Copies of this chain bind each other. A is one copy, B any other.
């Protein structure tokens, strides 16, 4: 008679642990219980189901060979018992049983275990504002809600939508609504940027512009204070301090919290935020009880802090590690760096490690190198410019994070994954400079965009490059000339490109001398002003800075990312 392995939770970590345990210990009696009738679905696919890219919800619950992962599949193919519509009521650690209730019959029973796995996941937050429970207001955390939303859409109930929350899921949902269903969609984010804490302001601004270019209204720094209903009781508007937005659908995507209640009631160690505390083997404070996925907190490999990180990718890795340890294979989850990637219409935004904001909040001596580089050989027909940013510690030269924004293909993924690998290994700027990215003209450049970004960071860290941030530059330009009469932009692009800007801003603020003529013409530059040197990407500007320094004109700064950055951010007062 095999060991009894009981698993609470039938999505991601739970099924992963169950199937791996069964493979490692074929004699084990493995049972999964889940409160829902639909289990083992790809939750991250919900926006693509809502949009219609995925036509049938069953596809989100299928294997790659098109078998639906239902109770029969787990039983027949995996040898795992799956009890759905079954709620875990309490863990009895002395008796090693879990009391469960069948939600259809009301019948209760005690299920015995030798090892117990908690994969209880997370619950979506709901704002405590009037109307948060109205008909037509949804959180997006399970298949039933996804199906209800799609049903509303398919029945023509929706022509305007408001998404509360500018995180990844909110933005993916906004795209689904606006792009495929042609719904007038508004995103509200109470922080002052999209993807707060995940990416830094310039990258959030590029994303925001791209959403706006695709007819999504975005209001940051703006909270929903009330949701109101029409006569039928269905949602009809969202109120903020700034405006009232008509709508017939509200998606509330304002984060999740770990489901640690069951663990806490059983006396297991739970963090102040409600996450189940585990060691590197994903073992709780009771050695016979493991936990994995959204209900746990694990170590950030960069800061060393423990955090709740609700991500499907981590849940799957942790589920496997739980199974290994149950089967006696010593296996550890050492921590996470926080890789993420997201499609937004025709663009891709991604990051790994810490943002500059997060790194500085954590007392790193953090600085940032931002570049605009070709994703592949500039002469290859499909070439595009991608924006990359490295966050690094100036003292230790350790790389803390990496962000990317580019077209909707895998070019950003190719840099983010490599960065994640190095950051997890505690790599320095030099490791990034010399990382041997694969090169052929259809895929990359001889010195890859990632390497080039590291080289800019190297120059910054060594004090060989002085930059001005995009935020500071835009703030100055917006306020000019009154607030900063002592600054002038030096535009070193082709005179044809610069002419329009000289016109708009005047020669006092905007001086145009092409890159190749600087060595001959630098004496034309005012010597009583700080020059902000600007080109397309920042590369030529860096060279010009070095030259100007060498002739004693040291009062200059480079705008990293150059026009490529500003064009993607697109301030409305900027010449088009």
Residue in A79, A343, A438 whose Cβ sees the most chain B Cβ within 10 Å? A438
Instruction: Report the minimum CB–CB distance from A563 to chain B (whole Å).
Output: 11
New contact pairs (7) apart from A312-B446, A341-B439, A421-B425, CB-CB < 8 Å: A45-B377, A65-B535, A67-B516, A316-B446, A329-B462, A337-B436, A417-B438
Are A546's CB and B417's CB within 8 A?
no
A317 to B73, CA, bound (A): 52
Could you show 26 A-B contacts with beta carbons less than 8 Å apart?
A23-B546, A42-B377, A44-B439, A44-B440, A45-B380, A48-B442, A60-B379, A62-B379, A63-B378, A64-B537, A311-B439, A320-B433, A338-B436, A340-B439, A341-B439, A348-B443, A350-B438, A408-B442, A410-B411, A410-B413, A413-B438, A414-B417, A417-B417, A417-B435, A417-B437, A421-B422
Judge if A77 is at the interface, Cβ distance under 8 Å.
yes
Contacts of A448 in B (CB 8 A): 313, 417
Instruction: Report the minimum CB–CB distance from A207 to chain B (whole Å).
Output: 14
- Which residue of B is nearest A56, CB measured? B379
Residue among B331, B418, B462 making CB contact with A420, cutoff 8 Å: B418
Instruction: Report the minimum CB–CB distance from A407 to chain B (whole Å).
Output: 10
Judge if A576 is at the interface, Cβ distance under 8 Å.
no
Are A424's CB and B420's CB within 8 A?
no
Q: Which residues of A contact B (CB under 8 A)?
A: 12, 16, 23-24, 26-27, 42, 44-45, 48, 53-54, 59-60, 62-65, 67, 73, 76-79, 168, 172, 311-317, 320, 329, 331, 333-334, 336-343, 348, 350, 352, 374-375, 377-381, 408-411, 413-418, 420-422, 424-425, 427, 430-431, 433-444, 446-448, 450-451, 455, 462, 464, 493, 515-517, 519-520, 535-537, 540, 542-543, 546-547, 549-550
Contacts of A380 in B (CB 8 A): 45, 48, 53-54
Are A434's CB and B48's CB within 8 A?
no
Residue among B313, B348, B379, B425 making CB contact with A42, cutoff 8 Å: B379
Contacts of A315 in B (CB 8 A): 446
- Which residue of B is nearest A421, CB measured? B421
Are A73's CB and B516's CB within 8 A?
yes
Contacts of A441 in B (CB 8 A): 42, 44-45, 48
Instruction: Report the minimum CB–CB distance from A53 to chain B (whole Å).
Output: 6
Q: A26-B546, A435-B420 are in contact. Are A440 and B343 (CB under 8 A)?
A: yes
Are B443's CB and A410's CB within 8 A?
yes
Are A440's CB and B342's CB within 8 A?
yes
A73 to B519, CA, bound (A): 12
Contacts of A418 in B (CB 8 A): 417-418, 420-421
Instruction: Report the minimum CB–CB distance from A162 to chain B (whole Å).
Output: 23
A1 to B466, CA, bound (A): 26
A416 to B415, CA, bound (A): 10
Are A443's CB and B379's CB within 8 A?
no
Contacts of A415 in B (CB 8 A): 417
A311 to B374, CA, bound (A): 19
Instruction: Report the minimum CB–CB distance from A554 to chain B (whole Å).
Output: 12
Contacts of A537 in B (CB 8 A): 64
Contacts of A311 in B (CB 8 A): 439
Are A434's CB and B379's CB within 8 A?
no
Instruction: Report the minimum CB–CB distance from A350 to chain B (whole Å).
Output: 5
A42 to B376, CA, bound (A): 12
A168 to B443, CA, bound (A): 14
Are A436's CB and B352's CB within 8 A?
yes
Contacts of A427 in B (CB 8 A): 421, 425
- Which residue of B is nearest A432, CB measured? B421
Contacts of A78 in B (CB 8 A): 543
Contacts of A168 in B (CB 8 A): 440
A334 to B427, CA, bound (A): 14
A374 to B65, CA, bound (A): 11
Contacts of A446 in B (CB 8 A): 12, 42, 44, 312-313, 315-316
Residue among B59, B63, B433, B519 making CB contact with A76, cutoff 8 Å: B519
Residue among B410, B421, B436, B516 making CB contact with A77, cutoff 8 Å: B516
A483 to B101, CA, bound (A): 59
Contacts of A424 in B (CB 8 A): 431, 435-436
Contacts of A341 in B (CB 8 A): 438-440, 443-444
Q: A410-B413, A413-B410, A420-B437 are in contact. Are A447 and B316 (CB under 8 A)?
A: yes
- Which residue of B is nearest A318, CB measured? B434
Are B547's CB and A447's CB within 8 A?
no
Instruction: Report the minimum CB–CB distance from A245 to chain B (whole Å).
Output: 27
Contacts of A421 in B (CB 8 A): 418, 421-422, 425, 427, 435
Are B439's CB and A313's CB within 8 A?
yes
